[in-house]
Amino acid sequence: MTATDDSPSRLIDARIAELGDWRGETLARVRALIRQADPEAVEEWKWRGVPVWSHAGILCTGETYKAVVKLTFAKGAALPDPKGLFNSSLDGNTRRAIDIREGEAIDEAALTALIRAAVALNTAARPKKAPKGG
C-alpha cells in the first residue's frame, strides 16, 4: 500500500492491523479518543508512514516503536498538562510526547483534555478573516 493508492485513514487502519499486538490496540484506542475529542480532526499519513491528526495545524502524531507507542504533540510545550501525561521529549521548547508502554493504562480524560487544548491552541493561532463588505 502506498499513500497514492489509499486514503490516510485506510493506511492507519492497515498499520493498526499490521502491528497486530498491544501497539496496534493502543494506537486504535488513541485514535478513537482523538476522534471523540475532536470529530473535525483530519487524519493524515506523513513522513513515510506516520499517522498524523490535524485541525488548523498538527495536533499530534502516533508513532509506533518496539517498546512504545509515542504520541507527539506538535505544540505540547504550550499545552496545560495538569495530570503529567507528557513523559518524553521534555527538553525542547515546542514539542512534548507521551510514551505509552505495554500494559500501561491511558488516562482517557486527561488525554482528551490535551487533545482539546491542542485544538484550541491551533484554532486560536489562526488569523481571523476580515468581515466582507462594509
Who contacts 111 (Cβ-Cβ below 8 Å, separation ≥6)?
A: 30, 33, 37, 71, 85, 98
pTM, whole model, 2 decimals? Answer: 0.87
Q: What is the pLDDT of residue 2?
A: 43
3-class DSSP state of 59: strand
Who contacts 28 (Cβ-Cβ below 8 Å, separation ≥6)?
A: 16
Q: Is the dihedral of CA 122, 123, 124, 130 positive or negative?
A: positive
Q: What is the pLDDT of residue 97?
A: 97
Question: 1-50 pLDDT, tens per residue?
Answer: 444 557 999 999 999 999 999 999 999 999 999 999 999 999 999 988 89
Query: Cα Rg for the chain, rounded, in angstroms?
Result: 16
Q: Which residue has the cell 512534548?
A: 96
Q: What is the pLDDT of residue 1?
A: 40
The answer to whether residue 134 scores a pLDDT higher than 90 is: no
Q: What is the pLDDT of residue 47?
A: 86
The answer to whether residue 59 scores a pLDDT higher than 80 is: yes
For residues 49-68, give the mean pLDDT.
96
Check: CB of residue 57 under 8 Å from CB of residue 122.
Answer: yes
DSSP-derived pairing of the beta strands 68-73 and 58-64: antiparallel
Q: What is the pLDDT of residue 3?
A: 41
Question: 81-132 pLDDT, tens per residue?
Answer: 999 999 999 998 999 999 999 999 999 999 999 999 999 999 996 666 656 6
Helix/strand number for the chain, H first, E second: 3, 5
The answer to whether residue 77 scores a pLDDT higher than 50 is: yes
